[in-house]
A and B are shown apart, each in its own frame.
Chain A
């Protein structure tokens, strides 16, 4: 067969929602060539996942095929009998899902799960299967494959599980690998490792990869060609470098422009007194691990960290997952109990709990990562934003109302006060969370990955909003993130954490332009950029 001929051909695919009959995917066509790396990019609601699922006949209930064709090597997939389609799944087309934490069956040993596909699609003996699995686990750089075969999924981190998923899919040497946001749940470093492995394995086996993602950085680093979807329609397609560097369509340009850029370097009038200061702050958690890593002990999530934040300054804390950055933020707010060290606020030690903590609470706030769980589903937006004001001494109801209206205006949610959180989009919810955090005019705000759960163009808007609010109200900010691009845009100073310790800190330009520590360099190298 001609190597250049498309291996998979999607022609005018149309999917509609059964209720309401809205088109989820509307007339999308694209080809995947043998051994090619193609990316489908789009924001939530663009239909990218549905288009990919249609290839495997895995549409969720409520979504119906309404037109177009999908052919693989001349076989029409959409009209294929379920039995024949099952033969293709796994053997010809493999799939890696987004959530490594739930895509492995927690009640099955790794070896048994990996063997399932081989048993279904090949006639290998148990011994041969075991050998293949061992070889593949070694190939995806799992330490001690012998042990891994008998281990349970919960014994592995997200990155490791995603490698195991990848290994079990690639065992069958599929001709096409569909990867649906395979690294979105992983931190930057792990993301790079997993995708590098995926690319290498695909190349070794001649597997074509269909990567579904919202991350343009990943597209530019890994994909040869790209398809841009928007609200179910194909916006633009072509060779990655062309599409991203000279976008023909306004939407693509908008996406590219929405990527964070380094802001101007700010020089602040020197305030010698730090606003908040952590001195030798440590947080330890009891670990209940037995077996693999020995008996129960304590895990030092934050290990004797010194950190100062000055008034009005934005300090970014970056690091991979498990580096202790979130715990550090929570410990500085006295939400996580410190096991050692102290926190000073305006030069005064902050008590660990009790009534004396209240003035500190009133001056500090937190913006959470997940806008879906940070708002009480039974509380109206206006009430949620008003709630912090109730604790401000001597504030009248009229003053509160005026302040709530003002803050809702500021975050661009005028007239949303009567709504419930579920009526809002993710970006709007995050605006509510920000409004709630700043309504009391705090001096210090901890923002824990405030944009990483949002769509790209929304991320840019929320980051810009955050920056402008900070300029208006002058609060200091501890910006916790693994997204180096966002950090580059917003931070004045950058602190790099690894395994609970600060390994490097400096002004943003110092850290980004001349990283000193190996871990910082690895993080920067793994960060996908255009």
Chain B
């Protein structure tokens, strides 16, 4: 019963974010980029629901437009990191031997860099753009997925049902796809949900350093970092993107847990 409530709340939150992002990509109450210095730093009112920022831009419009770019970046980064990380992790864990050693040496080297530094370096090379952000953040996040998946595979491959599959005469890749991979879902889904939050924040950090989505284009991240200097005079500037990030994360976590349980036959 509790499980359903979680799924419901998570679903509503994520659904709302998706709807807002979709609308934000096409229409916003004001132009999110339009500077109107006459009405700067206004508190929320009937004309500007969520107030205006230091350049007089409508915060509600910027948050809606930001939902589209932040959501896009976070979602694609998580998907790419999980797919790439799982593929490499399963290969390393299942084949072991030299494949494992080479892949893991490379992976550990990546892990040794702080994720944000790695992303920074990649951004410098690729250049600041949405695609660049996704690539950089994927590279920063995939190594931890590789670690987790490889560890899970290493323990799964000793399970007797994997041996039974071998005994049946299944080729190794069938054993891997049918018996090993599906059982990695639980740890990966937990990791993916927490990664989502990290990516949202990392995007803001990179944007702050001028390496993310270039201002004035809004993302929740650069809105948050831009609000820093006005926190005392205009609290809504930080509150709006902060709440957006927090609610999205809450939704993702609830939905992620519900999804993991839903995908596990033992939990039904």
Instruction: Tell me if A7 is interfacial: C-beta within 8 Å of chain B.
Output: no
The 8 Å CB contact of B265, one of A335, A378, A391, is A378
Q: State whether A374 and B160 are in contact (beta carbons under 8 Å apart), knowing that A362-B169, A391-B170 are contacts in the complex.
A: yes
Closest Cβ of chain A to B265, distance in Å, is 4
Pairwise interchain contact B169-A376, C-beta atoms closer than 8 A: no
Given A368-B160, A370-B160, A420-B266, A376 and B183 contact (CB-CB distance below 8 Å): yes
Contact A373 B168 (CB under 8 A): no
A375 at the interface (CB under 8 A from B): yes
Give B2-43 as 1s and 0s: 1 = Cβ < 8 Å from A's Cβ atoms. 000000000000000000000000000000000000000000
Structural contact, B167 and A365, CB atoms closer than 8 A: yes
> Are A391 and B168 in contact (CB-based, < 8 A)?
yes
User: Looking at the complex, which one of B165, B167, B179 makes contact with A333 (CB distance below 8 Å)?
Assistant: B167
B167 in contact with A366 (CB, 8 Å):
yes
Shortest B167–chain A CB gap in Å is 5
Q: How far is the CB of A354 from chain B (nearest CB, A)?
A: 12
| Structural contact, A335 and B163, CB atoms closer than 8 A | yes
Give the interface residue-count category, chain A: 20 to 34
**Which listed residue (B160, B169, B179, B266) contacts A388, Cβ 8 A?**
B169
Tell me, in angstroms, the Cα distance from A96 to B166 when the chains sit together. 39
Known: A377-B183, A420-B265, A420-B266. A358 touches B169 (CB 8 A): yes
Shortest Cβ distance from B266 into A: residue: A422
CB distance from A328 to the nearest CB of B (A): 16
A-B interface contact total, Cβ < 8 Å: 59
**Cross-chain contact A422 with B265 (CB below 8 angstroms):** yes
Contacts known (A368-B164, A370-B160); A377 close to B169, Cβ less than 8 A: no
CA distance A358 to B179 in the complex (A): 19
B161 within 8 A of A: yes
The answer to the question of B101 belonging to the interface, with a C-beta cut-off of 8 Å to chain A, is no
Taking a contact as CB atoms closer than 8 A, the residue among A374, A375, A378, A388 that contacts B168 in the complex is: A388
A378 to B166, CA, bound (A): 17
| B159 CB–A CB distance under 8 Å | yes
Report Cα–Cα, A60/B179, bound state, in Å.
Answer: 33
Whether, in the assembled complex, A361 has its beta carbon less than 8 Å from a beta carbon of chain B, the answer is: yes
Query: Would B165 and A387 count as touching, CB distance under 8 A?
Result: yes
| CB within 8 Å for A366 and B265 given contacts A376-B179, A388-B168, A391-B170 | no
Residue among A365, A377, A433 with max Cβ neighbours from chain B (10 Å) = A377
B158: nearest chain-A partner, CB-CB: A373
Q: Does B182 contact A (CB under 8 A)?
A: yes
CA–CA, A377 to B267, complex, Å? 11
Find chain B residues with CB under 8 A from A387 CB.
165, 168, 170, 178
Binding site for A on B (CB under 8 A): 159-161, 163-170, 178-179, 182-183, 264-266
Which A residues fall within an 8 A CB radius of B?
333, 335, 358, 361-362, 364-366, 368, 370, 373-379, 387-388, 391, 420, 422, 433, 436
